[in-house]
Structure 1
Amino acid sequence: MKKTLSFVIVLFAIAGSTVWVYRTYRGENDTLPTLYGNVDIREVTLGFRVSGKLAQLHYDEGDKVEAGAVLARLDDEPYRLQAASVQAQVDSLRARLKLRETGNRPQEIAQARSLVREREATAVNAERLFQRAEDLLADKGVSAQERDNAEANHREAQARLKSARDNLALLEAGFRSEDISQAKADLAQTEAALATAGLQLNDTVLTAPADGVILTRAQEAGAILQAGTPVFTLSLLNPVWVRAYIHEPDLGRIHPGMQAEIRSDSSADKHYKGRIGYISPRAEFTPKTVETEELRTSLVYRLRIVVENPDDGLRQGMPVTVTLDESAAGTVIP
């Protein structure tokens, strides 16, 4: 009996120890796990959208820049000349379209009418001479050759009169709707080319997209660059994140918006505030760069903790310790 009782007691002791160890090392105790991660700062590689000769660079590595600051310039003379050439074409096509829409000038129409009257008189006179030659030929008063010449002059006068009348009709009718539509299309096409030329001219100036620090300066003045060639690498001041990982058993105890305290080894006395902004929906194996007491083959979920008060003390890739605080939920950060 005593042996049976002792065996039961030993079993209960082993079971209790097992539960304690499981809760302790699987994160089911009341204390939230301490996370270990690395600072993640976004970087932007900057370059020109157009090719050309690099004329000026205004910043060097380590310089802080503000959003919109001019970082570098290309020699813009080829693009200015191109824009001026296209602008001249636009002006010419606008004038042509206005001519088509307005129609011919009254002076041109009056001149065409005068020409018609002149040729009408010439045609009447040529017809009379031809008729007279016909009558004289019957009486042998003129030769057959003279009569043929008079007929030819008559026919020529009639043709020239018809040409003058047709030209007057065209001037009075104005331009066809198809001509006006074609002129509008030509103008629209050239205006688009002008907009493109203006955009390329603007692209000869490289500006900072956001506040940051110049990490690398890859080119020097005088270099001939192709479009997209990296010139600067900019480290953004915001946002600053911490990339950390948490084990699946602890996943249900955290949520987006939960507050956190962040400490770095280089400034142990300085604490940064943060909030969980993102929890990965997919499990993955622990990266070898993560510092954790668990086995590296354990499945974990990646977290993004947004630092609310970053400064120069946090650098790219710096290892940090994250302490979670479940007492305040906070606002969810995307």
Structure 2
Amino acid sequence: MNVLRVAAVVVVLGVAAGGAGFYWWQQQRNELPDGFARANGRIEAERVDIALKFGGRIAEVLVREGAMVAAGERIARIDSTELEAQIRAAEAATRQARQELAQARALVVQREGELALAKADLNRTETLAARGYATREKLDQRRSKEITAAAALNTARAQVAAAEAAIEASEASVAARRADLADYSLTAPRGGRVQYRLAEPGEVLAAGGKVVTLLDLTDVYMDVYLPTDDAGRLRYGAEARLILDAAPQYVIPATVAFVASEAQFTPKYVETASEREKLTFRVKLQIPAEILGRYQEVIKTGVPGVAIVRISPEVPWPETLAVNLP
């Protein structure tokens, strides 16, 4: 019995000592030297909405919420029955235009022969008329026939140009519809995790209707808000450390990627110094992509935490804020 009591006391003392040590460690973290700023925030990731370019009925959605997808992977498909029928009609129009072009070219050959014959008749009639063997009326008829044959040839050549233009137009129509058909298959513009599945097969959506929302897990950051004094001295690329509520034992590195140009939460323009001190600016702290690549399966958005930003680059980081990822 005495042994058990001693063991229990040792366990209690050990737990108390451990708790006291963790509390002391946290207090050390909370006590920052000059040159650092602290702010609260939560983990966010770049969100990509995959939406319809054309309205239509959803034929299938190939991903589920929480699934990882690669760049270029097909996400969903719109029913393309009507568009495929339009493509077949445009292809038929192309074939018809090519047949009309062949006929127009054959007609040109015919008109060229008629013009050659008309010119030959005119030449013979002019020779006969010069010798007095042909009347002037006959000569005028041959000249009129030659003019008519030349006009018919020009018309036939115009028909060839029109047929060629019709072919180009119909081929362009086919190409445009085939390009539209490619947009009926929705693909992931970048790799990531499916956050929301917003539409189901059978639903009819208008152009711009969202089908799936992706999170790019290579672009993860924390937005924090710093007062005017800290934001004014902050440099782009400055180092920061993130400590998440869900894993306070780990320190995650980050860098300043963005500082808002306008204050938030208070009026944009204030007159007194006391009011200016209330201004805060949004600061985006980016987590390095090489670190994110190692934790794709555990990254979650919305997790709250604390950010410590180094305002003065010459001040060294405290040992309690050394990066210690597993």
Partner of 1:73: 77
**Maintained 8 Å contact 2:41/2:224:** yes
Kindly provide the amino acid, as one letter, of the partner of residue 214 in structure 1.
Answer: V
Kindly provide the amino acid, as one letter, of the partner of residue 304 in structure 1.
Answer: K
Find out whether 1:169 has 2:154 as its counterpart.
Answer: no
Partner of 1:277: 257
| CA distance in structure 2 between the aligned counterparts of 1:170 and 1:47, rounded to whole angstroms | 56
Question: Alignment partner of 1:283: what SS?
Answer: coil
Find out whether 1:320 has 2:305 as its counterpart.
Answer: yes
Larger radius of gyration: 1
Kindly provide the amino acid, as one letter, of the partner of residue 69 in structure 2.
Answer: V
Unaligned runs of 5+ in 1: 1-27, 119-154, 287-294, 330-334
Kindly provide the amino acid, as one letter, of the partner of residue 52 in structure 2.
Answer: F
Q: 1:233 to 1:162 in 2, by over 3 A?
A: same
Kindly provide the amino acid, as one letter, of the partner of residue 205 in structure 2.
Answer: L
The TM-score with structure 2 as length reference comes to: 0.64
Quick one: percent identity of the two aligned structures? 23
Count of paired positions: 258
Partner of 2:45: 41
Partner of 1:215: 195
Bigger shift: residues 162-171 or 250-259: 162-171
Partner of 1:247: 227
Unaligned runs of 5+ in 2: 1-31, 122-136, 267-274, 317-326
Q: 1:161 to 1:238 in 2, by over 3 A?
A: same
| Deviations, residues 15-55 of structure 1 (Å, cap 9, x unaligned) | xxxxxxxxxxxxx9724122222222222222222233322
**Maintained 8 Å contact 1:257/1:275:** yes
| CA distance in structure 1 between the aligned counterparts of 2:299 and 2:148, rounded to whole angstroms | 83
Partner of 2:60: 56
| CA distance in structure 2 between the aligned counterparts of 1:116 and 1:75, rounded to whole angstroms | 62
Partner of 2:34: 30
Q: 1:171 to 1:212 in 2, by over 3 A?
A: same
Kindly provide the amino acid, as one letter, of the partner of residue 302 in structure 2.
Answer: G
| CA distance in structure 2 between the aligned counterparts of 1:277 and 1:202, rounded to whole angstroms | 36
Q: 1:266 to 1:99 in 2, by over 3 A?
A: same
Question: Alignment partner of 1:104: what SS?
Answer: helix
| CA distance in structure 1 between the aligned counterparts of 2:169 and 2:315, rounded to whole angstroms | 60
The alpha-carbon deviation at position 76 of structure 1 amounts to 2.3
Q: 1:256 to 1:170 in 2, by over 3 A?
A: same
| CA distance in structure 1 between the aligned counterparts of 2:250 and 2:280, rounded to whole angstroms | 28
| CA distance in structure 1 between the aligned counterparts of 2:209 and 2:101, rounded to whole angstroms | 42
| CA distance in structure 2 between the aligned counterparts of 1:109 and 1:182, rounded to whole angstroms | 18
Find out whether 1:199 has 2:179 as its counterpart.
Answer: yes
Kindly provide the amino acid, as one letter, of the partner of residue 42 in structure 1.
Answer: E
